[in-house]
């Protein structure tokens, strides 16, 4: 369908106006630093450094700093927001500007190691440092740019020899659309589960801005895959459901010309499409809309956005052949995970089947099942095709691609889609993949979420809890205040961008353990379904 047939007939401006009307107000919390600290090299630490306390924050105002001095502040936990302070001179007349360099750290290496030379693939303009000149003293300073940080390192680049400077009233101004904190888990819950829950909630809180950002350090965009996982965590915690609704309308209003949902959208300076399409993300828009309806009962929004959901499968379904198998179009990004060697064919088959199932369920709830009468036979055909093409009866697991690759991703997505003939078969396949040292493993919390989701679908509750404790608990053991974009326990210094300094250490797609705990009862002492 050409643009004139779909977008010209869709109320995209009305959708955009509705999205803008749902923009939340941000709540501000002003916080003083808890300590002055410094980084200590620690080869045993996954990120190579730990922070050591030096002094109470009150000592800062009593210290005069001059050219070449520096200090690091610890605010006690991650936040997204601004920094302010009052700067006064000490000694002689302040006869020159003061030049300061500020480094905002999510994790210790940010303030322990220089950012430059930088070798990453993404723009170094994302690196969280700032050099400012302050001409007149005394002066109150509030940095206009928003940062994501726990630690702030301030270097006095230069003053004149005549004077030094003192810092007073240093404050972090934390911002979030979250209004009230969810109640904590029961005190008799396992301590590690409670800590993982706390870090999950902090991650969601600091990504919950005027949209569900993927990460407040870098990108600061709305992505479909991140949105789906954040929305699930949100329903169980902050319940800022109008922000989910806003995001759904933004994607609807800013698609590709043929109506396929873009993988991401920008908010500023005005809402616009990110001009990136990810096959599996477009399919997951439908799943996100259906889960929004499940959580809120908002049929009005679902009916308004139904044409968008239907259009996704009209386009994506073209890449399913006459036998019911996904055929890679080669011109659309297939994501699933950042694991480079991953063959994604079987996983995308699973994503598509799941999207068809969820869209059919949504249509049924909206009284529109007649519009998609072909979905049920299409689902059955795709499941049968997946069993023929991907199940290896000798190895008793699912494979993918011409090399018949074994991966955790293939087992998980096909299980979520209901492809295994029984839970027993699916669980055995996943366990075999988990035990296969040659199997391709996930490197992101995003795919780890889907592994856990599959385990729960297959009745593998003990394994699901063990994976949450080992994977997200591994980040907790490494000192995480918020969960990271990338975490490979075997290579914690890895980055898909060529330099860990550009990695995000508060990332939306990593916040879902709280959803597993609070809605699926995972890890709770007593749980009745």
Cβ–Cβ under 8 Å, residues 405 and 440 = yes
pLDDT of residue 8: 78
Cβ–Cβ under 8 Å, residues 261 and 251 = yes
CB neighbourhood size of 492 (10 A): 17
pLDDT of residue 529: 45
What is the Cα–Cα distance from 492 to 486, expressed in whole angstroms? Answer: 8
pLDDT in tens, 463-480: 999 999 999 999 999 999
Decide: residue 320, CB within 10 A, 0-12 exposed, 13-18 middle, 19+ buried.
buried
Strands 147-158 and 139-142: unpaired
CB neighbourhood size of 10 (10 A): 17
Strand ranges (E), 12-69? 27-31, 35-41, 49-55
Find the DSSP H helices in 186-261: 191-207, 224-236, 241-253
pLDDT of residue 3: 52
Q: Specify the fold of 36-175.
A: Jelly Rolls (2.60.120)
- Cα-flanking dihedrals φ and ψ of residue 290, to 5°? -65, -40
For 91, the enclosing helix (H) or strand (E) is: strand 70-91
pLDDT in tens, 264-302: 999 999 999 998 999 999 999 999 999 999 999 999 999
Q: What is the CA 511 to chain-centroid distance, rounded?
A: 7
Q: Is the pLDDT of residue 446 over 60?
A: yes
Coil vs helix vs strand at 103: strand
In this prediction, residue 10 has a pLDDT band, given cuts at 50, 70 and 90, of: confident
Q: What is the CA 240 to chain-centroid distance, rounded?
A: 17
Mean pLDDT to the nearest integer, 125-140: 97
In this prediction, residue 396 has a pLDDT band, given cuts at 50, 70 and 90, of: very high
- Considering the chain, what is the average pLDDT of its residues? 96
Cβ-based neighbours of 172, under 8 Å, separated by 6 or more: 30, 31, 32, 33, 75, 79, 81, 82, 83, 149, 152
Query: For residue 104, what is the DSSP state?
Result: E
What is the Cα–Cα distance from 394 to 431, expressed in whole angstroms? Answer: 15
Q: Is the pLDDT of residue 256 over 70?
A: yes
Mean pLDDT to the nearest integer, 247-258: 96
Find the DSSP H helices in 320-374: 345-365
Tokens of 373: 């009468």
Q: Give me the long-range contacts of 456-460 (CB less than 8 A, separation at least 24).
A: 456/516, 456/520, 456/522, 457/415, 457/416, 457/423, 457/426, 458/415, 458/420, 458/423, 458/426, 458/427, 458/430, 459/423, 459/427, 460/427, 460/430, 460/431
Q: Is the pLDDT of residue 502 over 70?
A: yes
Q: Is the pLDDT of residue 27 over 80?
A: yes
In the chain, where are the structural domains located? 36-175, 191-520
Q: Is the pLDDT of residue 435 over 60?
A: yes
Q: Which residue did the predictor score with more confidence, 138 or 9?
A: 138
Query: For residue 420, what is the DSSP state?
Result: S
Q: Is the pLDDT of residue 67 over 60?
A: yes
HSE value, Cβ hemisphere, 13 Å, CA-based, for 44: 1
pLDDT in tens, 85-95: 999 999 999 99
Mean pLDDT to the nearest integer, 17-46: 97
In this prediction, residue 527 has a pLDDT band, given cuts at 50, 70 and 90, of: low
pLDDT of residue 7: 76
Query: For residue 437, what is the DSSP state?
Result: T
In this prediction, residue 70 has a pLDDT band, given cuts at 50, 70 and 90, of: very high
Q: pLDDT > 90: what percent of the chain?
A: 96
What is the Cα–Cα distance from 465 to 426, expressed in whole angstroms? Answer: 18
Cβ–Cβ under 8 Å, residues 309 and 286 = yes
pLDDT of residue 249: 98
Strands 147-158 and 35-41: unpaired
Q: Which residue did the predictor score with more confidence, 395 or 5?
A: 395
Mean pLDDT to the nearest integer, 157-175: 97
pLDDT in tens, 300-350: 999 999 999 999 999 999 999 999 999 999 999 999 999 999 999 999 999
pLDDT of residue 6: 76
Provide the β-strand partners of residue 37: 53, 72
Q: pLDDT > 70: what percent of the chain?
A: 99
What is the Cα–Cα distance from 43 to 220, expressed in whole angstroms? Answer: 32
Lowest-pLDDT choice from 5-14, 321-330, 346-355, 407-416:
5-14
Tokens of 261: 């949902």
Closest of 98, 56, 83 to residue 170, by C-alpha: 83
> What CA–CA distances, in Å, run from 229 to 212, 224, 445?
10, 9, 11
Cβ–Cβ under 8 Å, residues 280 and 306 = no
Closest of 529, 525, 453 to residue 191, by C-alpha: 525
Coil vs helix vs strand at 169: strand
pTM of the model: 0.96
Q: Is the pLDDT of residue 1 over 90?
A: no
Domain 191-520 sits in CATH at 1.50.10.10
Q: Is the pLDDT of residue 5 over 90?
A: no
Cβ–Cβ under 8 Å, residues 320 and 327 = yes
The dihedral of CA 393, 395, 396, 401: what is its sign? negative
Mean pLDDT to the nearest integer, 251-276: 95
Lowest-pLDDT choice from 2-6, 76-80, 190-194, 411-415:
2-6
């Amino acid at each position: 369908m050409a643009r004139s047939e779909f977008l010209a007939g869709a109320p995209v401006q009305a959708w955009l106006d509705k999205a803008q009307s749902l923009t939340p107000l941000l709540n501000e919390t002003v916080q003083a630093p808890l300590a002055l600290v410094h980084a200590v090299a620690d080869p045993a630490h996954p990120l190579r450094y730990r922070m050591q306390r030096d002094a109470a924050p009150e000592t800062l105002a009593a210290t005069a700093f001059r050219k070449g001095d520096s200090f690091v502040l610890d605010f006690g936990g991650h936040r997204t927001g601004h920094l302010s302070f009052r700067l006064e001179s000490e000694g002689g007349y302040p006869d020159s500007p003061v030049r300061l360099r500020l480094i905002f750290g999510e994790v210790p290496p940010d303030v322990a190691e220089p950012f430059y030379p930088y070798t990453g693939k993404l723009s170094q303009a994302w690196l969280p440092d700032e050099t400012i000149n302050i001409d007149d003293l005394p002066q109150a300073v509030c940095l206009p740019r928003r940062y994501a940080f726990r630690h702030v390192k301030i270097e006095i680049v230069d003053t004149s020899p005549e004077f030094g400077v003192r810092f007073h009233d240093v404050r972090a101004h934390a911002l979030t659309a979250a209004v009230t904190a969810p109640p904590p888990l029961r005190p008799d819950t396992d301590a590690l589960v409670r800590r993982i829950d706390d870090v999950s909630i902090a991650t969601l809180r600091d990504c919950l801005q005027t949209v569900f950002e993927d990460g407040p350090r870098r990108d600061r965009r709305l992505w479909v895959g991140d949105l789906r996982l954040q929305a699930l965590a949100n329903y169980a915690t902050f319940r800022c459901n109008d922000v989910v609704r806003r995001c759904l309308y933004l994607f609807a209003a800013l698609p590709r010309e043929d109506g396929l949902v873009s993988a991401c959208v920008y908010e500023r300076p005005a809402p616009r499409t990110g001009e990136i399409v990810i096959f599996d993300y477009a399919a997951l828009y439908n799943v996100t809309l259906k889960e929004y309806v499940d959580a809120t009962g908002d049929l009005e929004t679902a009916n308004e956005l139904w044409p968008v959901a239907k259009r996704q499968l009209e386009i994506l379904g073209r890449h399913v052949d006459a036998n019911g198998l996904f055929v890679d179009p080669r011109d659309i990004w297939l994501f699933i995970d950042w694991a480079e060697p991953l063959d994604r064919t079987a996983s995308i088959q699973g994503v598509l089947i799941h999207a068809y199932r969820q869209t059919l369920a949504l249509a049924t709830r909206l009284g529109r099942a007649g519009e998609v009468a072909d979905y049920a036979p299409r689902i059955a055909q795709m499941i049968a095709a997946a069993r023929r093409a991907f199940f290896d009866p000798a190895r008793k697991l699912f494979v993918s691609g011409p090399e018949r690759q074994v991966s955790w991703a293939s087992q998980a997505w096909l299980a979520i889609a209901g492809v295994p003939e029984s839970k027993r078969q699916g669980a055995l396949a996943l366990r075999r993949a988990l035990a296969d040292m040659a199997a391709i493993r996930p490197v992101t919390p995003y795919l780890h979420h889907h592994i856990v989701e599959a385990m729960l679908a297959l009745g593998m509750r003990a394994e699901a809890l063990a994976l949450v404790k080992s994977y997200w608990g591994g980040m907790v053991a490494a000192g995480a205040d918020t969960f990271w974009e990338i975490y490979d326990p075997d290579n914690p210094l890895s980055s898909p961008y060529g330099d860990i300094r550009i990695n995000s250490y508060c990332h939306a797609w990593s916040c879902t353990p709280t959803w597993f705990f609070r809605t699926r009862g995972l890890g709770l002492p007593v749980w009745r379904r």
